[in-house]
Structure 1
Amino acid sequence: MSGEAPIDFSGLIREGDLVVCGQATAEPVTLTEALMAQAAQLPPFRMMVGPVFSETFSATSAANVSFLSYGVIGNARRLAKAGRLEVIPSNYSAFCADFAAGRHKADVVLVQLAEAGGRLSASLSNDYVIDAARGARLVVAEINPDAPFTFGAEWPGDVPVHMRVPAGRPPVELASPPLDDVSRRIAAHAAGLIADGSTLQFGVGRIPDAILSSLSHVRNLGIHSGLINDAVVELIERGAVTNTEKGIDAGITITNQVIGTQRLYRFVHENKAVAVRPTSYTHSQGVLARVKRLVAINSALQVGLDGSVNSETLNGVTIGAIGGQLDFVRGANASRGGRAIIALPATASDGTSRIVTHVETVTTPRADVDAIVTEWGIAELRGCGLAERARRMIAIAAPEHRDALSAQLRRSAR
């Protein structure tokens, strides 16, 4: 960051402080860049981050800063790879609830806010930051004129903002990644599980984007998701999303975070047909069970032959997150007509199979799994015994790995 720092953190950060900042596109980059630039001159402190899509935090950040997160998403992988990131293995809903309950307590909160007509909004994310700010010693807000004012994320009047600074740049953007042949093939299979009138939940990445892009022919879709992205704007503008058959929140797209580009930010700005609701609503099992035909679309690093899903670790190293996967899988299972889809490429970038005999970490237990989708097809697992599950999982593995998986299965059965 060039020029004079927008704030001097000396005297504001105390030794051992837990500093919490907005995550993903809600990161207050003007503030976080200033903090990281001054960090070496400050007392040792802890920094809580979520998904990181900026260039703010790196392995070369000052050694007196220790980083924590609920997962390894985006550029947080740089911190994890360098051994700088402690991961709290928690469902996203529980992680947020821990701030409300006081199990996590922030000392300093840095937040990006939008302002309209004298009102403030948390704008792009309605996660744990408000509850963290409620009990913090110091709350510093970056007021960003380019951040959209979103309904549902209004900043509560009883949560003080102690300092305000003007934003030095627009909010972080995350463009959709280009689609490839594998993601398109996965999407073609998954789309067959999504009927007219379904309500969608999905995450970040090429495969969710490919699935959304394949749904323009489906009618009366709804959105109740942990996030929305630019692909949602496409579906709404094409008339595929109407939110009329969800059973709740008629006519309104419900999300917890807004992750995309300025096109999406302009769309959600003061748009009463979009509500950025808190995690206690978007991820609530009671709420999700009321949604009709909820289709949860999530990804994985590995899936075992018994259906167990690993979205967290490979070779003992955390490279993913629990996130909201289990929240939404269980919500979709409880929803009338719901489906829980785990979609992943059958083969990793190094050529190894992502369909394995046993996963090393269980993110979603086999008892909760519904349908697994790869580019080779769909394994419908609900109600199946272990032998049949293994047969169906091997059938959607890459052909070059099927014989080895069958042989490993036979050996393990002896």
Structure 2
Amino acid sequence: MSDNAPPIDFAGLIRDGDLVVCGQATAEPATLTEALMAQAPRLPPFRMMIGPIFSETFSTASSPNVAFQSYGVIGNARRLAKAGRLDVIPSNYSAFYADFAARRHKADVVLVQLAESSGRLSASLSNDYVIDAARGARLVIAEINPDAPFTFGAEWPGDVPIHVRVSARRPPVELASPPPDDVSRRIAARAAGLIADGSTLQFGVGRIPDAILSSLSHARNLGIHSGLINDAVVDLIECGAVTNAEKGIDAGITVTNQVIGTQRLYRFVHENEAVSVRPTSYTHGQDVLARINRLVAINSALQVGLDGSVNSETLNGVTIGAIGGQLDFVRGANASPGGRAIIALPATASDGISRIVANVETVTTPRADVDAIVTEWGVAELRGCGLAERAHRMISIAAPEHRDALSARFRAPAR
């Protein structure tokens, strides 16, 4: 096969109305997805289920034959959403996974990136809903990538057939950590004060979570049980801050659902028995999270209301974020012995508009589940507080230029 020849001809493989599911984030099988998008104009109409996108594969997908769906708007999926081409399923990440396991979402074709070592196959960078989607699919096409790390916990199940194998033509997608700025450093300094030695960390993608992780090199006996790990985790392990010794479960093991980073991280996790890439039912399961000692969930938001309600999904009626695993981990941290649920965000958006608002337009995490809100201006401890006290504390961590307006919007309840 010449370099210019397609790795696979999808004609006859994709049927009218099919739901095609592909690996998400750095687990995207880019050789397959690029070929599919190139051939889409001559294929029958089909639906494409995507997750976070960090490649350019779908950013210029112009064929009207493809209807895109996702559980949120993350990374380059924002371009599809802005063009009005992304139908968002508002679902907690754990529920989205369970919907594939229960066949509420029924995949017809699954495209997956796999690693191979000594005849064994691994889902490598993500142990998510794709395996359950593949278990019930008509056709499973695997891209075997020699540059993808073989990870333990994500071994490909023997009862899930692979119908077609192709060789990858490019290394896995990478996502480098964004450099911290002054605001994220100030937020990180505030949040770090809430994270005790021996805590187990969960965190997401972005400048603020990365800045918080980077501020914890002084800590001792931290653990990791997260929806993802990135390059910053390697730093914490190598400096001795992360030992996974006091988690209560999985002693000595970094547990994650996805691996999102650069080749440095991929080399670190390759055949590393101290890292386990586990299925969503384990990484996000409430029964599991409640057994972890001092689980600290670190998540972000678009807005937080004066009552503590958190919006991570929409602005001005447009979906630009996701529920993701935020509520799964907030509730898990609240159930964990000594756990903390931190929502960290800048006090203002890039246009100067306050992200602390009187009322959020969409509730992602209800006010009853909220613990601590952190901005560069301080920490609002909300657990157990009444509405008046919550408003007072939230206004105190808003940007100073917005505090008077927020105070004017707040009306204390009658006594």
Same-fold call, TM > 0.5?
Answer: yes
In the alignment, structure 2 segments of 5+ residues that lack a partner are none
Q: CA deviation at 1:58?
A: 2.2
- CA–CA distance in structure 2, aligned partners of residues 11 and 413 of structure 1: 68
Whichever residue aligns with residue 104 of structure 2, its letter is R
- CA–CA distance in structure 1, aligned partners of residues 313 and 392 of structure 2: 25
- CA–CA distance in structure 2, aligned partners of residues 342 and 24 of structure 1: 23
- CA–CA distance in structure 1, aligned partners of residues 392 and 411 of structure 2: 12
Match of 2:179 in 1: 178
The answer to whether the 8 Å contact 2:148/2:172 transfers is: yes
Match of 1:346 in 2: 347
Match of 2:74 in 1: 73
Q: What does the per-residue CA deviation read over 1:203-247, in whole Å, with 9 as the maximum and x for residues that have no partner? A: 000000000000000000000000000000000000000000000
The 3-state SS of whatever aligns with 1:89 is coil
The 3-state SS of whatever aligns with 1:361 is coil
Whichever residue aligns with residue 79 of structure 1, its letter is L
In the alignment, structure 1 segments of 5+ residues that lack a partner are none
Match of 1:225 in 2: 226
Match of 2:266 in 1: 265
* Residues paired across the two proteins, number: 414
TM-score normalised by L of structure 1: 0.99
Whichever residue aligns with residue 85 of structure 1, its letter is L
- CA–CA distance in structure 2, aligned partners of residues 122 and 355 of structure 1: 40
Match of 2:169 in 1: 168
Is the aligned partner of 1:390 residue 2:367? no
Match of 1:26 in 2: 27
Match of 1:292 in 2: 293
Match of 2:207 in 1: 206
User: More displaced, 313-322 or 401-410?
Assistant: 401-410
- CA–CA distance in structure 2, aligned partners of residues 4 and 206 of structure 1: 39
The answer to whether the 8 Å contact 1:21/1:110 transfers is: yes
Whichever residue aligns with residue 277 of structure 1, its letter is R
- CA–CA distance in structure 2, aligned partners of residues 24 and 66 of structure 1: 19
Whichever residue aligns with residue 340 of structure 1, its letter is A
Q: CA deviation at 1:60?
A: 4.0
The 3-state SS of whatever aligns with 1:410 is coil
The answer to whether the 8 Å contact 2:388/2:412 transfers is: no
Q: How does 1:215-254 map to 2 (within 5 A)?
A: 215-254=216-255
Match of 2:279 in 1: 278
Is the aligned partner of 1:52 residue 2:48? no
TM-score normalised by L of structure 2: 0.99
Match of 1:334 in 2: 335
- CA–CA distance in structure 2, aligned partners of residues 180 and 331 of structure 1: 30
- CA–CA distance in structure 2, aligned partners of residues 112 and 123 of structure 1: 8
Whichever residue aligns with residue 149 of structure 2, its letter is P
Q: What does the per-residue CA deviation read over 1:9-39, in whole Å, with 9 as the maximum and x for residues that have no partner? A: 0000000000000000000000000000000
What RMSD, in angstroms, separates the aligned Cα atoms of the two structures?
Answer: 1.3
Whichever residue aligns with residue 281 of structure 1, its letter is Y
Match of 1:355 in 2: 356
- CA–CA distance in structure 1, aligned partners of residues 410 and 199 of structure 2: 36
Match of 1:4 in 2: 5
- CA–CA distance in structure 2, aligned partners of residues 59 and 95 of structure 1: 26
- CA–CA distance in structure 2, aligned partners of residues 281 and 48 of structure 1: 23
Q: How does 1:76-115 map to 2 (within 5 A)?
A: 76-115=77-116
Q: How does 1:283-322 map to 2 (within 5 A)?
A: 283-322=284-323
The answer to whether the 8 Å contact 1:59/1:82 transfers is: no
Q: What does the per-residue CA deviation read over 1:348-372, in whole Å, with 9 as the maximum and x for residues that have no partner? A: 0111000000000000000000000
Match of 1:135 in 2: 136
Q: What does the per-residue CA deviation read over 1:34-74, in whole Å, with 9 as the maximum and x for residues that have no partner? A: 00000000000000000000000025421110000000000
Whichever residue aligns with residue 235 of structure 2, its letter is E
Whichever residue aligns with residue 28 of structure 1, its letter is P
The 3-state SS of whatever aligns with 1:290 is coil
- CA–CA distance in structure 2, aligned partners of residues 59 and 236 of structure 1: 39
- CA–CA distance in structure 2, aligned partners of residues 93 and 288 of structure 1: 12
The answer to whether the 8 Å contact 2:143/2:166 transfers is: yes
The answer to whether the 8 Å contact 1:112/1:143 transfers is: yes
The answer to whether the 8 Å contact 2:388/2:413 transfers is: no
Q: CA deviation at 1:411?
A: 9.2
Q: CA deviation at 1:3?
A: 1.0
- CA–CA distance in structure 2, aligned partners of residues 384 and 234 of structure 1: 37
Whichever residue aligns with residue 194 of structure 2, its letter is L
- CA–CA distance in structure 1, aligned partners of residues 61 and 287 of structure 2: 43
Match of 1:195 in 2: 196
- CA–CA distance in structure 2, aligned partners of residues 205 and 281 of structure 1: 23
* Runs of 4+ that moved beyond 2 A: 58-61, 410-414
The 3-state SS of whatever aligns with 1:241 is coil
